Homo-oligomer: A and B are copies of this chain.
Amino acid sequence: MSTQQRFVMNTWYAAAWEHELDNTKNLLARKICDVPLVFYKTADDAYAALDDRCCHRAAPLSMGRVEASCLRCMYHGILYNKAGKVVEIPGQTHISNNMKVRAYPVSAKGGMIWVWMGDAELANPNHIHDFPPLVDKTNWRGFEKEAYLHYQANWMLIVDNLADFTHVAFVHTNTLGGSESYAYESVPDEVDELDTGLAIKRWHKNSAPPPFHQRVIPQAEHDVSLDRLNDIEMHIPGVFLMKTQFAPAAPEGKSDASDPHREYRNCQYMTPETWNTTHFFWNYLHNFDLDNAATTTSLKDSLFEGFMEDKVVIEQQQLLLEQSPDFVPRGIGGDKALTVFRKKWRERLNEEVADNASSGEHTSRPVNIRALI
């Protein structure tokens, strides 16, 4: 079976919120880019990521036990260090050099454990698209256990969704949008290419506060028309970072961002589990009412409601696409951002495939004649 490379591997993927490893075993099984991984926290609070498959007989290491900085397979007791090397085989003194599994670079930032799926020598934690509000407790407040959703859809369909906020008018009319007018009246996108993705600004001028916002502002402000700005960055492979501000509507011209009334910060990380399923991580932070837990909870609930509205559409879209291999999408004006993002991602993938080919790293492998089953 030959396999074509479908994912960009030389990049940092959001793998797990740190709190997901706070369980009795301090470990987590998670597949990323079709690769089953085990993440674990060592006794000194460091993280490690290994192939979740013992090199001996393919038992899952995620059924194992953390011992100091090592992980023991609990089938026949083989012990691995953080580098994936076997350091003990019960009842046996010699350990051959091929007794090992692959280890993956990991780095924790902003509560998220990031994993590098490609060439370890190229892994530089400075290239992680960190999101400062997540750790800036002075100015921002989000919910403490950052959230996770599992999608039955290719991650790029979620990226598409986020690249055109027209959908806010129709999918989220009664939650995040407020009215269908958002689709007709909001100021057209400014789309700027970035090295690793793009930036989008979208104004919706002189409009009523949308439902999720209205729920957390004083009654007196409910009738005040607002200028709403969504200021977005989107990075390869699937990192979405957004600043949102609501300010009283400016009487003429474009409202400026110098004195926003209320602001939000939102991160959404889309990480492919397989080609057709996605890990989705998110938090939503506010810069007002910092010590009012009801505000934080209300926003979490509203956003969750909105994300579930997306999820049902996108998962149906996925089903239809799986059944329609010949479907050719028709473009509309709103596709500008997603077209740019997909083009940049495709270029990165092509570069990587070309590099691997020239360096002799074959992506197709011979059939294994020694398979267990």
Contacts and interface: CB of A to CB of B under 8 A. Distances in A.
Nearest to A155: B373
A171 B373 contact: no
A329 B77 contact: no
Interface string A59-102: 11001000000001111111000000000011110001011000
A331 B332 CA distance: 57
Contacts of A186: 91
A188 interface: yes
Interface string A251-286: 000000000000000000000000110000000000
A99 B60 contact: no
B56 A332 contact: yes
B328 A370 contact: yes
A324 to B, nearest CB: 6
A330 to B, nearest CB: 5
Contacts of A321: 58, 371-373
A173 to B, nearest CB: 9
A73 to B, nearest CB: 8
A91 B57 contact: no
A318 B60 CA distance: 10
A208 B105 CA distance: 43
Contacts of A332: 56, 76, 78, 89, 92, 99
A317 interface: yes
A180 B74 CA distance: 10
Contact of A76 (B75, B170, B371): B170
Query: Which one of A56, A99, A367 has the highest number of Cβ atoms from chain B below 10 Å of its Cβ?
Result: A56
Nearest to A90: B183
A290 interface: no
Contacts of A111: none
26 contacts: A34-B323, A53-B327, A56-B332, A57-B317, A58-B320, A59-B313, A60-B316, A74-B170, A75-B170, A76-B164, A77-B170, A89-B333, A90-B166, A92-B333, A96-B330, A98-B330, A99-B330, A157-B373, A321-B373, A325-B367, A325-B368, A326-B365, A327-B368, A327-B371, A328-B368, A328-B370
Closest 3 CB pairs of A and B: A90-B183, A154-B373, A55-B330
Interface of A: 1, 34, 36, 52-53, 55-60, 63, 72-78, 89-92, 96, 98-99, 154, 156-157, 160, 164, 166-167, 169-171, 180, 183-184, 186, 188, 275-276, 312-313, 316-318, 320-334, 365, 367-368, 370-373
